[in-house]
Structure 1
Amino acid sequence: MTNAPTTHETPAPTADKATRPGEPTRFADATDGVKLAIYEYGDSDRPTVLFVHGYPDDHSVWEPVIALTAGDFHVVTYDVRGTGASGQPAKRGGYAMSQLRDDLATVISLTSPDSPVHLVAHDWGSIQSWAAVSDSAFANKLASFTSVSGPGLDMAGAWLRRGHRHPRKFARQLVDSWYIVAFQLPFLPELLVRRGVVEKMVSRSENIGVPTDRQIPSGRRSRRDAINGIGLYRANFRHLLTPRPTRAVCPVQVLAPTDDAHVTVPLGLEAPKPFVDRLCTHAIPGNHWVVEQNPTLITTLVTEFISTITQQDEDSR
């Protein structure tokens, strides 16, 4: 599925980086030549947990969770193409789901070549990860998958097609997803980013339910990343219109924040059910950015799920 990844090494990761994320550990060349910035923490002899971020974040959204997990796992994360220290493709097709899936394979092959990884992803990181989780080529690469606020597009499209069975849920999700359609327009989304409108929208959604004295100010994300990330929506919209969902190749845990302004709980919890054999679901307190705001909750649920899956697999042998 992918060519052997090319790497450009920087000093090997050490355990004390677990609470001091900094420069990339190394870079890998994606199959189309885009450079991917990879970050590693903890003991590489331990089971690998791979975190994938969403839009319009970079890998740093996972820093609070990394600080809690790197003592027990080999932790890996990376800047998705077009964000952070990673390069960006020249054309829209560079953000297609197939390429994002290949990027994930490249990172896994480089950082955990001999053992499957526990994949944990948020928002668009989760959306693109579903493409791998539903691909038989990843059957030996993935031990488990925890999805936070990011349903697979094909699964979501199938769920939306069944909207007549749940009209109120369907209508609510359409209202919450208005920006997906807006991002298909030429020029306007980029203009909204440059005018700060998208960042203000993100700021409002990440402060839902947050006390006034703890709210996070807008303007902390990169406008370059936000503009590049629009390509994710444009290159992959067709998956919602003509969904072709396939079955998951590993156990899946879905976490659906109850105050998520972008993904409703019904969509998050119901869409995967027909396509996952070993599925664990939780509606959890928090908004769309719960991974950053409540890292203890996310860490607890992820580690418990990994422990349960590991024990079940051992018992079945």
Structure 2
Amino acid sequence: MSGELPQRRVPLSTGITMNVAFAGPDDAPPVVLVHGFPESHRTWREVAARFDDRFRLIMPDLRGFGQSDRPQDVAAYAAEALIADIFALADALNIDRFALVGHDWGGAIAWAAALRGDLRIERLAIINSPHPLIFQRSLIEDEAQRAGSQYIRAFRDPKLESGIEAMGFPTFFEKSFSKHVDLAKIPAEERQRYIDDWSRPGALTAMLNWYRASHIVVPTPGEHASMPAWVGRGVPKLKIPVRVIWGMEDKALLPVQLEGIGEVGDDVDVFPLKGVGHFAPWEAPDQVSEALAPFLAAA
């Protein structure tokens, strides 16, 4: 793992304070990179080290994660609040336009932010995070994806915190990552950093509230389920360049998420990563960086 990134806490107009890591020259093109569950800005440490000479990299701990504020109400994690944090962070740092990169839940918010059509986002890069329309359709129509997403139902259970605390955070770490990456590749110090973050008061509830606030419908296997009305209404087609980078061995988000992905925008390309799983940014930082850097430099 690379060395520690400089960090500072940034108060936002949305009422929270974010812990944010930085890399690269202040006068370089700005790129905001947003992580997923159950991580922090540390998702990007190896990727950042591979092109921090060319970009101004801004890597927040999203609300509820890492060292950022951890509201306890589910309503504090509604999509509009999470999207507003991204733009409020740009405002706080006096950034007019930026590229947005997201992985997992960070990718979900990146998709949603871009779909608003806000001109401050110049281009969008997504790593193993499904487009909302394709994801919701697959949860209704594709039994394999529905089965792979049952963890979402589990994470919404109000009793889950007590269950995780009973098993202990080291066991939760293994359950979270062992299906997706060789645990032997994760140094003990790095593992402890995540466990320390999760152990902070209210952290577990805050992280799980991302799932509880989501309106994505996840039926049980075999259950008859109707397509939510918003799917029929559709979402806007993206006008900005989009690059989708996908670890093809993802056990939670299956390749069905790439079916029709080229139709969600006017300029969409896909970089499949063979032999790479869900946590691509730190499982395969060379491949992720090789896919990201030229796309970001094209702005």
Question: Normalising by the residue count of structure 2, what TM-score does the alignment of the two structures yield?
Answer: 0.83
Which residue in 1 is equivalent to 2:99? 118
- Whether 1:135 and 2:116 are equivalent positions in the alignment is yes
- Whether 1:275 and 2:264 are equivalent positions in the alignment is yes
Matched letter for residue 130 of structure 1:
W
Which residue in 2 is equivalent to 1:144? 123
Q: Report the secondary structure of 1:102's partner residue.
A: helix
Q: Report the secondary structure of 2:178's partner residue.
A: helix
Matched letter for residue 186 of structure 1:
P
Contact 1:79 1:85 in 2 (8 A): yes
Gaps of 5+ in 2: 219-227
CA separation of 1:174 and 1:110: change in aligned 2, threshold 3 A = same
For residue 261 of structure 1, report the CA deviation from its aligned partner. 1.4
Instruction: Summarize the alignment of residues 283-302 of structure 1 with structure 2, pairs less than 5 Å apart.
Output: 283-285=272-274, 286-302=276-292
Which residue in 2 is equivalent to 1:223? 198
For residue 279 of structure 1, report the CA deviation from its aligned partner. 0.5
Instruction: Summarize the alignment of residues 225-244 of structure 1 with structure 2, pairs less than 5 Å apart.
Output: 225-238=203-216, 241=228, 242-243=230-231, 244=234
For residue 213 of structure 1, report the CA deviation from its aligned partner. 5.2
Matched letter for residue 233 of structure 1:
Y
For residue 25 of structure 1, report the CA deviation from its aligned partner. 2.9
For residue 87 of structure 1, report the CA deviation from its aligned partner. 0.4
Which residue in 1 is equivalent to 2:38? 56
Q: 2:161 aligns with which of 178, 181, 190?
A: 190
For residue 83 of structure 1, report the CA deviation from its aligned partner. 1.2
Instruction: Summarize the alignment of residues 1-317 of structure 1 with structure 2, pairs less than 5 Å apart.
Output: 20-22=3-5, 24-31=7-14, 33-111=15-93, 113-114=95-96, 116-136=97-117, 138=118, 140-161=119-140, 163=141, 170-187=142-159, 189-194=160-165, 195-196=167-168, 198-207=172-181, 210=182, 214=185, 220-221=194-195, 222-224=197-199, 225-238=203-216, 241=228, 242-243=230-231, 244-267=234-257, 269-270=258-259, 272-285=261-274, 286-307=276-297, 309-310=298-299
For residue 223 of structure 1, report the CA deviation from its aligned partner. 2.5
Higher relative CO (CA 8 A, sep ≥ 6), structure 1 or 2? 2
Contact 2:149 2:252 in 1 (8 A): yes
Contact 1:248 1:277 in 2 (8 A): yes
For residue 227 of structure 1, report the CA deviation from its aligned partner. 3.5
| Distance (whole Å) between structure 1 residues aligned to residue 129 and residue 266 of structure 2 | 19
CA separation of 1:216 and 1:191: change in aligned 2, threshold 3 A = farther
Q: Report the secondary structure of 1:288's partner residue.
A: coil
CA separation of 1:294 and 1:251: change in aligned 2, threshold 3 A = same
Q: More deviation in 127-136 or 193-202?
A: 193-202
For residue 75 of structure 1, report the CA deviation from its aligned partner. 0.8
Contact 1:69 1:299 in 2 (8 A): yes
| Distance (whole Å) between structure 2 residues aligned to residue 214 and residue 158 of structure 1 | 35
Contact 2:17 2:68 in 1 (8 A): yes
CA separation of 1:39 and 1:63: change in aligned 2, threshold 3 A = same
Q: More deviation in 196-205 or 52-61?
A: 196-205
For residue 215 of structure 1, report the CA deviation from its aligned partner. 5.7
Q: Report the secondary structure of 1:259's partner residue.
A: coil
Contact 1:146 1:254 in 2 (8 A): yes
| Distance (whole Å) between structure 2 residues aligned to residue 296 and residue 158 of structure 1 | 32
| Distance (whole Å) between structure 2 residues aligned to residue 226 and residue 255 of structure 1 | 28
Q: Report the secondary structure of 2:63's partner residue.
A: coil
Q: Report the secondary structure of 1:192's partner residue.
A: helix
Contact 1:128 1:152 in 2 (8 A): no
Gaps of 5+ in 1: 1-18, 164-169, 311-317
What value does the CA root-mean-square deviation take over the aligned residues?
2.3
For residue 154 of structure 1, report the CA deviation from its aligned partner. 3.8
Contact 1:49 1:76 in 2 (8 A): yes
CA separation of 1:231 and 1:205: change in aligned 2, threshold 3 A = same
For residue 109 of structure 1, report the CA deviation from its aligned partner. 2.1
For residue 231 of structure 1, report the CA deviation from its aligned partner. 0.3
CA separation of 1:260 and 1:23: change in aligned 2, threshold 3 A = same
Query: Residue deviations 1:87-133, cap 9 Å, x none?
Result: 0123111011100000011112233523x211111111101111101
Which residue in 2 is equivalent to 1:9? none
Matched letter for residue 281 of structure 1:
V
Contact 1:154 1:239 in 2 (8 A): no
Matched letter for residue 117 of structure 1:
F
